[in-house]
Structure 1
Amino acid sequence: MSVDATKDTAPAEPVGPAVEPVPGDLRMARALWPVLLASAVGLLPFTVFSTYLVPIADEAGSSVAAMGGLRGLGGLAALLVGTALAPLIDRVPKEWAAAGALVLLGLSAALGAAGNFALLAVFCLLIGASTSVLNPALTAAAADRFGTGKAAGRAATLVTATQSMTAMLAAPVIALPALFWGWQGDLFGVTVVSLLLAVVFVARRGKHREADGSEAAESTPRLGYLASFKALAAVRGAVPLLLIGFLRTAVFMGYLSYLAAFYEERFDLDAGLFAFVWTLSGAAFFVSNLLTGRITNSAEPRVGTERLLAIGLVAALVSVVGFYFTHWLPLALAMTALHAASHAIVAACVVSLIVRRCGTTLRGSALSLNAAGQSLGVFVGAALGGAGLGLAGYPGTAAAFGALVIAALGAAALVPRGTSEEGAA
């Protein structure tokens, strides 16, 4: 934690005029620039893999289908490693965990650049494993820098907003350099940046340790492996929040899996025109995620985080069901934007509540389990959406995704309202 953490931390429930304001986005970004940059870099390897799937398959002497199937190995690795290592994220300095994950990410990218099918399989496995540690470590490190209250939640959502912006812009960002050095050069670039950032994290960890006397903090007894899971289950609302994160991801990623096919079949949009739809969805998610993180973690929010979470889920239900019954393109585009924005609201609320309620001793574990649940959600959403489509067409898909959102609303009803003690853990 930085020396300014006490000053920058706002209480979970503002009381009277003594409440100190949450630091602004620019101030946080200046303090967290390595974290934000690392969160963006973590998305690049699989973006390169997806964008250049055809030439990568040609280079490896494989079919596109077989090569694309390797992507699932990353999700499987993220699920298993993220769940298994969740309690360990809080038992080591977050900066060291992030540095180790960045080293593994960089080495994995270098292996992938070799273009061999077996090495590309290893690349997918290791990228999934490294990001399952990197993302929660970065989010928890950002939150730790600003304590346990609203400022911590705002810092965490700033990381997720950066990731959503990167997901939207990564394809054109990597496409331009690839004109000069190819997709292999992109992966080698990821290797260089990842290793440099790992050095920065180790150096900054030493600097902060000297500045804030964190040796004493590190001497505090840590929970055991199984005890961490039990303690996390005892946190108010933690289990429902993790369930919401899983269900939300299943709906959104399943919806995205069939988005291009829907627009092509119903509105005859080719790949070039559909790129604008994808940009619209990404932009709506980014803006909504950024604003929600700011609103829910302000010193005096006008809408409680739990209430905003429910509003986002209701909007997700209306938009995902209504979308599949739409036959007018402008309305379909509006539904696409609304659906992305609603999921961004839910995602920001879940992360904010996890960070504020779990405190510095458990938030890394909780965020790791949340990320693992999201990895599982990718598979579940695509499978259920496909099953609904096969059984009853797009109305079946609407029913499948609608049922998942209704289940998330039920979980949201189990999340207790925050109190003045929130974030004191």
Structure 2
Amino acid sequence: MSIDAKDSAAAPEIEELPGDLRMARALWPVLLASAVGLLPFTVFSTYLVPIAEEAGSSVAAMGGLRGLGGLAALAVGTALAPLIDRVRKEWAAAGGLLALGASAALGAGGELLLLATFCLLAGASTAVLNPALTAAAADRFGSGKAAGRAATLVTATTSMTAMLAAPLVALPALLWGWEGDLLAVTALALPLAAVFLARGRKGGGGGAADGQRPGYLASFKALAAVRGAVPLLLISFLRTAVFMGYLAYLAAYYDDRFELGPGPFSLVWTLSGASFFVSNLFTGRVTNSARSRIGTERLLGIGLLAALVSVVGFYFTHWLPLALAMTSLHAAAHAVVAACAVSLLVRRCGSLRGAALSLNSAGQSLGVFAGAALGGAGLGLAGYPGAAAAFGALVAVALGAALLVSRTGTERDRGRST
């Protein structure tokens, strides 16, 4: 039985959530495309040293090109946010996949100019691809909790891809090198783009009727008027800044405090990735279930509290088992927050969900830069306690935003019941 928006809005209390396997079968192109979208920069980061050697550049300069991709994602994601809901999501995803495939093919050339173009184009394409895929998954299941679950399946697939980066990237590269990895991305992206183009022709329109669509600037105003949307976007930005800033210095911390080299540290990285994936998958299911006994807004606050405790406690830990436990807890807490934020944006923003998810993705791109910069500043000024203070302060601000989200949710629920 399909789920439509009308039935979801009319009786959210009795909405039955389809099984994950059933959703995955319906969304297989979306889930596969979300995995492919993460691969180009995964290849670039994994093989940064040989890529720099091939281009005749330094590792530092080549690593800086990755920042170009983040800036492109921020600019494109923000600029195109109101337009995501004006076209069919499948067509937007197809365009993103075509650009992603082209960028990977250019990057395989190995020259400095081609690699710079690769980073810019890959960043811009993912800024379109990620929100289009997430919104398309949600649209497939209406506007209720099933839509939120479908969206979190996309984010869970992305986190699983990051966790499985070694077999997905390193093993094939033993046969054809990093250039072959990028060409494989092109070979996957182009047929997937054709699938989305075909699905777009069969599906209905991608947004509101022409007479109901707000203008470009009016779309930003309409989104700002959605209760809790702005605090949710702020939480997503702050969460990304904390988590990515923390991860940026994680290897150095374990090496300095526990003398863990790259080999043993890879197990720590796997622990963190697995914790995030399992928690994201589980939270997306629980928070969008009609039988859940805990509200999404409350679970969001719990996740942020756990993130605050774990990130501050981590930097004052001198016992390896406790540090590993904190690493696992911190990743799991961020996964809870990420799943709750996406679920609430999808369920609250309705026809503006594409714009909301685009701004959400752009904010995460900004968060990557902000987190690394603030974490570095904290370390430089006061060592690990400084990093704990910097990241803890960001989570504290996010907790304040979560209170606003909780209040708007309560008001909305009261209004619906009267």
TM-score (ref. length: structure 1): 0.94
Deviations 1:74-126 (A, max 9, x none): 00001111000000000100000000010000000000000000110010011
Q: Distance in 1 between matches of 2:293 and 2:211?
A: 37
TM-aligned CA distance change 1:281 to 1:107, over 3 Å: same
Q: Distance in 2 between matches of 1:215 and 1:80?
A: 23
TM-aligned CA distance change 1:311 to 1:169, over 3 Å: same
Residue aligning to 2:125 = 130
Residue aligning to 2:188 = 193
Please say if 1:170 is aligned against 2:171. no
Gaps of 5+ in 1: none
TM-aligned CA distance change 1:8 to 1:257, over 3 Å: farther
Deviations 1:187-229 (A, max 9, x none): 11100110100000011122234xxxx5996555322100100
Contact conserved, 2:345 with 2:357, CA < 8 A, in 1?
yes
Alignment of 1:118-267 (within 5 A): 118-209=113-204, 214=205, 221-267=212-258
What secondary structure is seen at the aligned counterpart in 2 of 1:89?
Answer: helix
Q: Which amino acid aligns with 1:277?
A: V
Aligned partner of 2:359 among 369, 373, 393: 369
What secondary structure is seen at the aligned counterpart in 1 of 2:87?
Answer: coil
**Number of residue-to-residue matches in the alignment:** 413
Please say if 1:277 is aligned against 2:268. yes
Displacement of 1:8 in angstroms is 10
Q: Which amino acid aligns with 2:348?
A: R
RMSD over aligned CA atoms reads 1.8
Aligned partner of 1:417 among 402, 405, 409: 409
Task: Report which of the two has the higher share of helix.
Answer: 2
Aligned partner of 1:62 among 40, 52, 57: 57
Displacement of 1:421 in angstroms is 9.1
Contact conserved, 1:102 with 1:198, CA < 8 A, in 2?
yes
Deviations 1:5-42 (A, max 9, x none): 32896459744xxx131111000000000000000000
TM-score (ref. length: structure 2): 0.96
Contact conserved, 1:113 with 1:184, CA < 8 A, in 2?
yes
Q: Distance in 1 between matches of 2:60 and 2:88?
A: 40
Q: Which amino acid aligns with 2:392?
A: G
Alignment of 1:381-400 (within 5 A): 381-400=371-390
Gaps of 5+ in 2: none
Q: Distance in 1 between matches of 2:329 and 2:390?
A: 19
State the percentage of identical aligned residues: 77
Residue aligning to 1:21 = 16
Aligned partner of 2:369 among 371, 374, 379: 379
Aligned partner of 2:397 among 367, 387, 407: 407
Contact conserved, 2:82 with 2:355, CA < 8 A, in 1?
yes
TM-aligned CA distance change 1:9 to 1:292, over 3 Å: farther
Residue aligning to 2:281 = 290
Q: Distance in 2 between matches of 1:231 and 1:294?
A: 29
Residue aligning to 2:37 = 42
Residue aligning to 2:317 = 326
TM-aligned CA distance change 1:116 to 1:219, over 3 Å: same
What secondary structure is seen at the aligned counterpart in 2 of 1:70?
Answer: helix
TM-aligned CA distance change 1:216 to 1:146, over 3 Å: closer
Q: Distance in 1 between matches of 2:380 and 2:207?
A: 59
